[in-house]
Structure 1
Amino acid sequence: MQSQKGFTFIEVLTVLSIIALATIGSLALRDWAVGNSRISEAKSQIITIQSGAQLWRPRTGDLTGISMSAMSSIAAVPEIWGAGSSINPWGGDIAIAVDGTDTSVYVITVSGIEQAAEGARLAYDFTDYAISSTFSGDTLTLRFQG
């Protein structure tokens, strides 16, 4: 009787199981990295808008009339951003407006955030810098002193 050479069924299953586990692990890591990338991009956009608000702000400090369109028209933010439609990393809108009760305060809203954990992390990241920082539903709302 000749002995046959090759892999047993158990050996093949073991190798396939290891490959499957490695694939699942790398997919989870990829999702985490993509989420971090979206958060980082959104933070950069918000910081750019903050800088733009300082450029746009009149000497009086009254921010009445501030908007993405107004800031884009003078290149205080990238002109391609226009009115802020569909520019955030989740495909939603970014808006800036004067606060209803204090014209020296502006409010930035980032809408369409599909991942609640990512929105909550953004809100947390701005708690030390904003007057208020909240995330509800799919919208991040940040209030800043002008």
Structure 2
Amino acid sequence: MKIFIKLSIVGLYSIPFAYLSLQKDYEADSKINYILTSLIIVLLSSFCGLIRADLQLILGNIISFGISYFCNSLAMLDKKRADFFTPFNSVEQIVLIAVMSIVIQVIFYKLARRFAKGYINTIESKNIGKEKRA
């Protein structure tokens, strides 16, 4: 079961979030996907912090960035799309989104680790108190 959960995390992180956000922005001039991407990344990084899935978090981010970069390279063949993103081109925006998402993930990952550590310590102290009474 642990392996399935960890593979699922890598699978969810492998979604090219940066590319999908840029694509939705280009198609519908909508910034909603950036917000959805941020929320999904916060939830995933918090979950990784709770279960201590460090490797999956790192591996998933690398795969996501690679897929986003590749898909964006294919989409850059369209000249109209290349001119849409200014003052930063789409490649620079993917790198910027990736860096910002890593910063957000580190913050929420550390908060979740701190919460999990406090939760585990609380449970252990309650169990020790019960053992002393018996």
User: Normalised by the shorter chain, which TM-score bucket?
Assistant: 0.3 to 0.5
Relative to its length, the structure with more strand (as a share) is 1
- TM-score w.r.t. length of structure 2: 0.35
Rg (Cα) greater in structure: 1
The structure, 1 or 2, with the larger RCO (C-alpha pairs under 8 Å, 6+ apart) is 2
